[in-house]
């Protein structure tokens, strides 16, 4: 993941450089080329709210296990699963598909977006496997040590992913309208 972050830093302009480009009117609907998927200026704040809520539920789940409140932990696990699945679906349909189409003509950036999406798919599978395992055998006093170990691993993966998404991927999404608008402008001959 670190190499992905470094590659992004090397090829994407900084926020300051992007602000030098005139902001396009947010009232103008910008869609990903070849799609009807519109840029949504409220998407990133919504996804960040999901992240904060996922972390709160996850922390509460960890505390419930430490306090041996296994019924509460099972309920929290269900809440985490529901929010995680809704978040992943929104992210896939509104973020990744938009970015995939928006940057198809740019092989370098497109490859990075595909890599982000693949990593998220793999993380989603791991989280779902964790949920399936622990929803079919709810954590109890006997299994709580294994649960604690697995939830710590999942938690570390999710925190790292959230930080990467919020610091880089969401920035790319927010820059997309400007980049798409620049691509639509006529090229000036030297």
Range of the domain at 72: 42-183
Q: Which residues contact 147 (CB under 8 A, 6 or more apart)?
A: 65, 134, 139
- Residue 12 falls inside a structural domain: no
Task: Give the pLDDT band of residue 3 (cuts 50, 70, 90).
Answer: low
| CA distance linking residue 64 with residue 160, whole number of Å | 23
Percent of the chain with pLDDT over 70: 81
Tell me the pLDDT tens digit for each residue of 141-155. Answer: 778 888 889 989 999
- Residue 108 falls inside a structural domain: yes
Task: State whether residue 30 is helix, strand or coil.
Answer: coil
- Residue 115 falls inside a structural domain: yes
Mean residue pLDDT of the chain comes to 83
- To the nearest 10 degrees (0 to 180), the angle between helices 70-90 and 43-66 is 160
* Residue 1 confidence (pLDDT) above 70: no
- Residue 9 falls inside a structural domain: no
Q: Which residues contact 37 (CB under 8 A, 6 or more apart)?
A: 31, 93, 94, 97, 98, 101
- Residue 26 falls inside a structural domain: no
* Residue 60 confidence (pLDDT) above 80: yes
Tell me the pLDDT tens digit for each residue of 70-116. Answer: 889 989 999 999 999 999 999 998 999 999 999 888 888 889 899 99
- Residue 33 falls inside a structural domain: no
The more confident residue out of 42 and 10 is 42
Place of tokens 């989280």: 127
Task: Give the pLDDT band of residue 28 (cuts 50, 70, 90).
Answer: low
- Residue 21 falls inside a structural domain: no
Are the C-beta atoms of 147 and 134 separated by less than 8 Å?
A: yes
Task: Give the pLDDT band of residue 32 (cuts 50, 70, 90).
Answer: confident
Report the domain count for the chain: 1
Q: Which CATH number fits the domain that encloses residue 71?
A: 1.20.120.520
The residue among 57, 49, 59 whose CA lies nearest residue 75 is 57
- Residue 190 falls inside a structural domain: no
* Residue 20 confidence (pLDDT) above 70: no
């Amino acid at each position: 993941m670190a190499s992905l972050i470094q590659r992004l830093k090397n090829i994407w302009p900084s926020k300051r450089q992007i602000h030098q480009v005139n902001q396009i009117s947010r009232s103008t609907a910008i869609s990903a080329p070849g799609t009807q998927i519109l840029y949504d200026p409220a998407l990133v704040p919504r996804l960040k709210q999901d992240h904060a809520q996922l972390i709160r539920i996850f922390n509460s789940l960890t505390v419930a296990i430490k306090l041996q409140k296994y019924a509460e932990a099972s309920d929290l696990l269900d809440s985490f699963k529901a929010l995680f699945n809704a978040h992943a679906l929104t992210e896939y349909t509104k973020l990744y598909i938009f970015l995939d189409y928006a940057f198809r003509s740019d092989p370098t950036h497109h490859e990075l977006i595909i890599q982000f999406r693949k990593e998220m798919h793999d993380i989603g599978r791991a989280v779902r496997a964790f949920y399936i395992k622990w929803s079919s055998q709810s954590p109890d006093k006997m299994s709580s040590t294994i649960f604690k170990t697995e939830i710590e691993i999942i938690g570390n993966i999710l925190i790292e992913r959230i930080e990467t998404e919020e610091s880089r991927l969401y920035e790319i999404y927010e820059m997309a309208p400007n980049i798409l608008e620049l691509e639509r402008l006529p090229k000036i001959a030297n």
